[in-house]
């Protein structure tokens, strides 16, 4: 189909049955699958777990079929696959916008917008977008990303499309490896910066990690009135780590501006291999 009828993607987008962003329980459970486009293929101790596209799509379709799942966040190639498979009817489809900061690259923080443009999301009738905003005060590339992110927020607001901003403060160690600061102070600062991007915050959502220690989240979320969703991360190979993630989410979901979860590898590649069980557990937290 891709070789002989590339127009099928746009045709499938037109046929897709859409839905409001929030409905019913007023919470969101979104499955994230935009990691491969940034060269992040590993899960736990499996360095190429996400490299098998057919297997990834099988897991995504299973996750999307479970009750309580609202949609998917992915790069254009994966959303195109899911559109062709008819897997996005009555599900939210969120496009990943900046994937240029390849994992481990010297230019990782110069995170160019190499994925969906706002006009692409509008043309395909998708439901919103996501951008990653990593800031290292010592890396000039962060300023380009910050500026580009602000203009993307403006464009998305102009199209009345929600944009999920995922901010982090980062630093490189002496060997050049990038580390994300998940302390309460760092996450508070990153949320304050992300909330102020662009000419309006009317369509901005925040995508937030659970801080360490987890009981600091109430204080962190006092820094903004914007709606927020919690992110996942790499759960590691141990089942105990997965259970700890669920418990951290459970506590943070009680906060008034936290509206749900956007989680990928923890649900798609759980330690016990039970995708449906992991997704159902996450849905029960909402």
Ranges of each domain in the chain = 8-18+27-285
pLDDT of residue 221 exceeding 80:
yes
Q: How does pLDDT run across 135-172, given as a tens digit for each residue?
A: 999 998 899 999 999 999 999 999 999 999 999 999 99
Mean pLDDT of 197-223: 94
pLDDT of residue 234 exceeding 80:
no
Q: How does pLDDT run across 58-90, given as a tens digit for each residue?
A: 999 999 999 999 999 999 999 999 999 999 999
Under the banding of pLDDT at 50, 70 and 90, the label for residue 232 is confident
Alpha-carbon distance 176 to 161, whole Å?
37
Alpha helix ranges (H) inside the chain: 8-15, 53-64, 76-84, 118-123, 141-158, 184-195, 217-221, 239-252, 265-268, 275-285
Between the CA of residue 86 and those of 15, 21, 32, 243, what are the distances in Å? 9, 19, 18, 32
Of 278, 205, 251, 261, the closest CA to residue 32 belongs to 261
- pLDDT computed for residue 47 by the predictor: 95
Under the banding of pLDDT at 50, 70 and 90, the label for residue 25 is confident
Under the banding of pLDDT at 50, 70 and 90, the label for residue 243 is confident
Q: Which two tokens stand for residue 123?
A: 């043309």
Between the CA of residue 186 and those of 139, 178, 231, what are the distances in Å? 16, 15, 16
pLDDT of residue 236 exceeding 70:
no
Alpha-carbon distance 281 to 275, whole Å?
10
Q: For domain 8-18+27-285, say whether CATH 3.30.70.270 is its number.
A: no
């Amino acid at each position: 189909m891709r070789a002989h009828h590339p127009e099928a993607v746009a045709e499938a987008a037109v046929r897709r049955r859409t839905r409001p962003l929030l409905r019913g329980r007023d919470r969101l459970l979104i499955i994230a699958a935009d990691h491969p486009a940034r060269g992040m293929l590993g899960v736990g101790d499996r360095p190429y777990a996400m490299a098998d596209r057919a297997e990834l799509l099988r897991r995504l379709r299973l996750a999307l079929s479970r009750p309580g799942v609202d949609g998917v966040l992915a790069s254009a190639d994966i959303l195109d696959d899911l559109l062709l498979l008819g897997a996005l009817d009555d599900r939210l489809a969120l496009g990943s916008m900046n994937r240029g900061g390849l994992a481990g690259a010297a230019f990782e923080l110069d995170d160019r917008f190499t994925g969906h443009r706002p006009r692409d999301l509008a043309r395909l009738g998708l439901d919103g977008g996501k951008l990653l905003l990593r800031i290292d005060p010592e890396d000039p590339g962060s300023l380009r990303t910050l500026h580009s992110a602000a203009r993307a927020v403006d464009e998305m607001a102009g199209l009345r499309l929600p944009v999920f901003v995922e901010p982090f403060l980062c630093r490189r160690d002496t060997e050049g490896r990038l580390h994300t600061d998940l302390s309460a102070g760092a996450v508070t600062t990153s949320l304050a910066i992300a909330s102020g991007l662009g000419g309006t915050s009317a369509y901005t959502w925040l995508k937030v990690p659970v801080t360490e220690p987890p009981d600091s989240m109430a204080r962190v979320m006092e820094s903004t009135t914007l709606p927020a969703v919690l992110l996942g991360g790499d759960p590691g190979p141990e089942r105990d780590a997965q259970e700890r993630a669920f418990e951290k989410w459970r506590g943070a979901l009680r906060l008034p501006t936290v509206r749900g979860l956007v989680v990928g590898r923890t649900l798609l590649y759980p330690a016990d291999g039970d995708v449906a069980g992991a997704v159902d557990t996450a849905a029960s937290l909402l």
